[in-house]
Amino acid sequence: MSVLLEVADVNVHFGGVRAVDGIDFDLETGCLYGLVGPNGSGKSTLLGALSRMTNLTSGRLVFAGEEYQTYSPAKTARMGIGRTFQAVRLIPGLSVLENVMLGGDARTAGVGIFANWLLPWRTRNCERSCREGAMEAIERLELTGLEKRTAGMLPYGTQRRVEIARALAAKPDLLLFDEPTAGMNREERDEVGEVMRSLRGQGLTQVLVEHDMQMITEVCDYVFVMNFGKVIAQGDPEAVVADPLVQEAYLGKRGSKNATA
Ligand SMILES: Nc1ncnc2c1ncn2[C@@H]1O[C@H](COP(=O)(O)OP(=O)(O)O)[C@@H](O)[C@H]1O
Ligand SMILES: [Mg+2]
């Protein structure tokens, strides 16, 4: 197995808050990783750092051999790192297809006004490939038939699936999911879990932030547990979930119960 992402001594501090505090790990190509921890333990901040939407205080990030801790979020997305957000971030007035096509744009660089004018055929080709990529993602997430529906009018669980489709439309090599199943029922969760397993079968590397331990043990190959910005345990999901240190963090004896995500 080859290393796809190297995270070396990454820190993200907000004033006195060490949201991410010296994180070190490697992610191997084609594995599905779980990232768990109590609210406020730094999971979303870490995903923000990996996707370059949050600045690092210090540390090094290497993706497919390329050091990228100083890259912009757009350049990071073009390199092949995609993410979904903890709260739904669709454009509610646009259709499902339009929302998903926006994801495809993340990887087609430099198609601006001048490119449209100078290279109209290239813009047309981009739009065609964007639409094809979007339709493929829509099919994967079982959203076929809903392409023309207004995204903001759909049930919450469906909107979350549209978000996953949008992230997939960019054809990432690494996909970071921030609580993608929050607010979903068991059946919807299982469906999302199945999509992740099948993407894994195609070699996509994924990180899943998730509170549902059943989903973590059923879906993930390996799990990291965070608390207070640090990785406090890692390994095989079943063993990690049974670890007394992890249970203690979750029971809130040491966790920050009142912290908000
Ligand atoms: N932009 C920010 N400014 C200041 N503090 C922040 C910011 N984002 C997150 N934090 C703090 O960093 C810590 C980790 O938050 P977060 O990464 O959202 O945790 P999690 O996703 O594990 O619930 C929390 O104490 C939170 O209040
Ligand atoms: Mg969070």
Report the predicted TM-score, pTM, of the whole model to 2 decimal places.
0.89
Query: How remote is the C-alpha of 85 from its chain's centroid?
Result: 7
**230 CA distance to ligand 2 middle (Å):** 14
Same structural domain for residues 250 and 199? Answer: yes
Domain count, the chain: 2
Task: Output the domain CATH number for residue 189.
Answer: 3.40.50.300
Range of the domain at 1: 1-80+172-261
Ligand 1 contact, 158 CB (< 6 A): no
Same structural domain for residues 182 and 166? Answer: no
pLDDT in tens, 115-171: 666 666 666 777 787 888 899 999 999 999 999 999 999 998 899 999 999 999 999
Given the CA of residue 39, which atom of ligand 1 is nearest to it? Answer: 23
- Note the ligand closest to the C-alpha atom of 21: 1
Ligand 1 contact, 95 CB (< 6 A): no
Same structural domain for residues 196 and 247? Answer: yes
Contacts of 151 (CB under 8 A, 6+ apart): 90, 91, 92, 93, 94, 95, 96, 98, 99, 159, 162
- Residue 187 has a CB neighbour count (10 Å cut-off) of 8
Same structural domain for residues 158 and 179? Answer: no
**81 CA distance to ligand 2 middle (Å):** 18
Given the CA of residue 178, which atom of ligand 1 is nearest to it? Answer: 21
Same structural domain for residues 152 and 32? Answer: no
pLDDT in tens, 61-83: 999 999 999 999 999 999 999 99
State the chain's mean pLDDT as an integer: 89
Given the CA of residue 12, which atom of ligand 1 is nearest to it? Answer: 12
- Note the ligand closest to the C-alpha atom of 19: 1
Same structural domain for residues 94 and 139? Answer: yes
Ligand 1 contact, 37 CB (< 6 A): yes
Same structural domain for residues 24 and 125? Answer: no
Which residue, 134, 154, 170, sits at the end of a domain? 170
Same structural domain for residues 159 and 177? Answer: no
Same structural domain for residues 130 and 178? Answer: no
Same structural domain for residues 30 and 64? Answer: yes
Which residue, 122, 144, 170, sits at the end of a domain? 170
